[in-house]
Chain A
Amino acid sequence: MSSWIAITRQLRQTKVMFSRNICRSNICHSENVDTNSADKVGGFAKAYEKQSHILDVESTPPPTFASLLRNSKLVDLGDPVGKIVVGKIFHVVEDDLYIDFGWKFHCVCPRPSIRAEDYVRGARVRIQIKDLELSSRFLGSSTDLTLLEADCKLLSLVSSPVKSSEKTT
């Protein structure tokens, strides 16, 4: 029984090989025909063809929402808890830094003691996400209560306009 199965398997494989070879030979034959006809066109004609279409903008169809979402950074993030992202400080209130990292909400972090004067509006910082939205269900309520803020930990400074101005002077 097992030998019968082995024979049928071998037969199938040879059949596949045969069909592959046949296909390949067909393709080779057609390619030969194409190259023969293409060789007839001169070098200058080929170059002219290429150059006349070099500035043509290929009209690609507009990207679908599904493809945009699939290739977005949110999906690349995976599980956002614990991930490190780069954000930009857009507002400062004394010692609180409001950082926008491309999400729906911003996060608010306290100003660190090291290099405190470099954390200004426009500075790019590295933050670690703890929670993308501070919301939870309180006892007795039917819906969650949101703080409209993300919860992140400030790790380090990436770049600061203050430091770049120091370099120029």
Chain B
Amino acid sequence: MYPRILIRKLKPNASIFHRSNSTAAQPLEQSKTNEEIKSAKSPLDHPDFFQVHNLFTVKDLFGARVHFGHKEGSLNELMAPYLYGSRQGHLIFDLDITAEHLRKALNFTAHIAYRGGIICFFNRNSLNAHTVEKTALECGEYAHTRFWKGGIFTNANHQFGAITRLPDLCIFLNTQNNILNQHTAVRDSAKMLIPTVGIVDTNCNPNLITYPVPGNDDTPAAIELYCNLFKSAIKRGKEARMKFLQENEENT
């Protein structure tokens, strides 16, 4: 439906890159034409091109029970910086920190969707598996909520029998496989240089995840909120992409 591979044509007046840290006595001169000024305003130059900060507020996160963590006994020490405190032995996330991380993750997701990347959702919690699969279907992306075979990423060409294109982004709605183990795909994505976005709870390890989002990953309400947010971000990225492609077609 959406063309994945974006063919960029080389502009006739390619701008010479300004070597800001060069040891040359005088910097190279740049002649800026109108085309170069337009190309400089690419989505990557904006801190929030897709306006993802409008998608949610801290109150929405609170209402979806994102701030609830597990008990103190199952805390992973690496998650301690993301906590607000502990209430009667139950840990509470600091939603201001969560909001900042979530904005970065949504921004990244939207950019990946803008560039036509394949996004794969992961969730091994059977309570929310259907929600995640439905979300993936609605935004035209992929989900894997079943048993994960060992070499799907690391031995893809052999397992699928043909040259396989791996996802460009893995979104983990739950980074755990079961209570005891982390999902193998977290480690395998890191091995295959696939960026990951992951909702990390108090008992999860955020180390290997590129854009961790500290928050509740057990309540269906929270998972639904995350799914809706990621779906909106992906849709925004894709709409911007369609607009860009149409503009390109009109120009050529």
Instruction: Specify whether A and B are partners.
Output: yes
Binding site for B on A (CB under 8 A): 62-65, 68-69, 72, 74-75, 78-80, 102-105, 132-133, 135-137, 143-146, 148
Q: Which residues of chain B are near A143, meaning CB under 8 Å?
A: 73-76, 203
Is A146 in contact with B203, judged by CB distance below 8 angstroms? yes
Are B95 and A135 interface neighbours, CB within 8 A?
A: no
Question: Could you list which residues of chain B lie within 8 angstroms of chain A, going by C-beta atoms?
Answer: 57-59, 62, 65, 67-71, 73-76, 84, 87-88, 90, 92, 94-96, 179-180, 203, 216, 218-219
B248 to chain A, nearest CB (A): 40
Instruction: Report 22 cross-chain contacts, Cβ distance below 8 Å, ordered by A residue.
Output: A62-B57, A62-B58, A65-B62, A68-B62, A69-B62, A69-B92, A74-B87, A75-B87, A104-B69, A104-B90, A104-B216, A105-B218, A105-B219, A135-B73, A136-B73, A137-B73, A143-B73, A143-B75, A143-B76, A144-B70, A145-B180, A146-B203
**Least CB separation from B74: chain A residue:** A144
CA distance A145 to B74 in the complex (A): 7
B100–chain A nearest beta-carbon distance, Å: 12
- Quick check: A68 and B65 within 8 Å, CB to CB? no
Residues of A contacting B179 in the complex (Cβ-Cβ under 8 angstroms): 145-146, 148
- Residues of chain A within 8 A (CB-CB) of B92 are 69
Q: Which residues from chain B contact A79 at a C-beta distance below 8 Å?
A: 88
How far in angstroms is the closest Cβ of chain B from A74?
7
- The complex places the Cα of A47 from the Cα of B76 at a distance, in Å, of 62
**A70 CB to nearest B CB, Å:** 11
